């Protein structure tokens, strides 16, 4: 299992400082970006993930843990919901939130490129608005790692933004929103297939231009 030092060793001091700073304001930023509709966003996400009672689920890039806590409610007393984030400050904030709410979840520091859990452990892995916040090589390693920790028949679920289909509108959005809107979650479809995921599907989510991508880990 990677230590905090090893996990964050690939980050610059500036990046570590930014992540730590963001942990204090993360929930406020999410509230602003969702126009006060974060509860709706989390409900829409969990409805699409389709967790079942007793499932074991991991959220990668959990931030302050709100989605992970919602997942624990869905999987129930016999299920497990775990959150992982590369920023120790996010993990600490998520752990405090879980303690305040009295919800039995666990959070730990970890990187998608080296997930600190055993093979074939989870029924579902979730990523929400984080998959493009990393270099391409880390993302590709991450998909292989997600496949490793999923049970056969388990699935990866990704919620992120999609770009307009019309070229002129796409350019307008990319220019106006900068780095936040340079990618479209649909571009990940062939990459999931390259990493042995099957039954890859994508649907438009009912929330502010987001799309939902799912791939299944079918193992021999």
* pLDDT of 11 above 90: no
62 versus 13: the higher-pLDDT residue is: 62
Question: Region 98-125: what's the mean pLDDT?
Answer: 96
Would you say 112 and 142 are in contact if contact means Cβ atoms under 8 Å apart?
yes
How far is residue 75 CA from its own chain's centroid? 17
Q: How many CB atoms are closer than 10 A to CB 90?
A: 24
- The residue with greater pLDDT, 18 or 117, is 117
Is the pLDDT assigned to residue 128 strictly greater than 80?
A: yes
* 82 DSSP β-pair partners: 58, 106
Distance CA 126, CA 202 (A): 14
pLDDT at 161: 84
Domain of residue 109, CATH code: 3.40.50.150
pLDDT recorded at residue 66: 97
Mean pLDDT of the chain, nearest integer: 86
Assigned token pair, 65: 């843990």
For 113, the domain range is 4-217
4 has a pLDDT exceeding 70: no
pLDDT of residue 158: 97
The pLDDT score that the predictor gives to residue 182 is 62
Residue 209 pLDDT grade (very low, low, confident, very high; cuts 50, 70, 90)? confident
Asked whether residue 15 carries a pLDDT value surpassing 80, the answer given is: no
- 77: which 2 tokens? 């007393």
pTM of the model: 0.86
**Which whole number is the average pLDDT over 114-131?**
96
Q: What is the count of structural domains for the chain?
A: 1
Q: What is the pLDDT of residues 131-147, one digit of tens each?
A: 988 888 999 999 999 99
pLDDT digits 0-9 by tens, 145-201: 999 999 999 999 999 987 556 554 445 544 555 555 567 889 899 999 999 999 999
Using CA atoms, how far apart are residues 9 and 19, in angstroms rounded to an integer? Answer: 14
């Amino acid at each position: 299992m990677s230590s905090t030092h090893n996990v964050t060793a690939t980050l610059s001091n500036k990046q570590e400082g930014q992540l730590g700073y963001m942990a204090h304001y993360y929930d406020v930023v999410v509230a602003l970006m969702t126009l006060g509709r974060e509860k709706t966003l989390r409900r829409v996400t969990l409805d699409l993930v389709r967790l079942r009672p007793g499932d074991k689920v991991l959220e990668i890039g959990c931030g302050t843990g709100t989605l992970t806590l919602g997942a624990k409610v869905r999987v129930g007393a016999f299920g497990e919901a775990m959150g992982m984030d590369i920023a120790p400050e996010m993990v600490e904030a998520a752990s405090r939130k879980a303690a305040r709410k009295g919800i039995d979840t666990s959070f730990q520091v970890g990187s998608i490129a080296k997930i600190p859990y055993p093979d074939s452990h989870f029924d579902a892995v979730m990523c929400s608005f984080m998959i493009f916040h990393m270099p391409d090589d880390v993302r590709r390693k991450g998909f292989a790692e997600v496949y490793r920790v999923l049970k056969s028949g388990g699935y990866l679920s990704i919620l992120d933004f999609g770009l307009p289909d019309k070229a002129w509108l796409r350019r307008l959005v990319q220019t106006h929103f900068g780095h936040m809107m340079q990618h479209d979650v649909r571009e990940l479809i062939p990459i999931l297939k390259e990493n042995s995921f099957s039954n890859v599907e994508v649907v438009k989510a009912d929330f502010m231009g987001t799309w939902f991508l799912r791939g299944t880990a079918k193992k021999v």
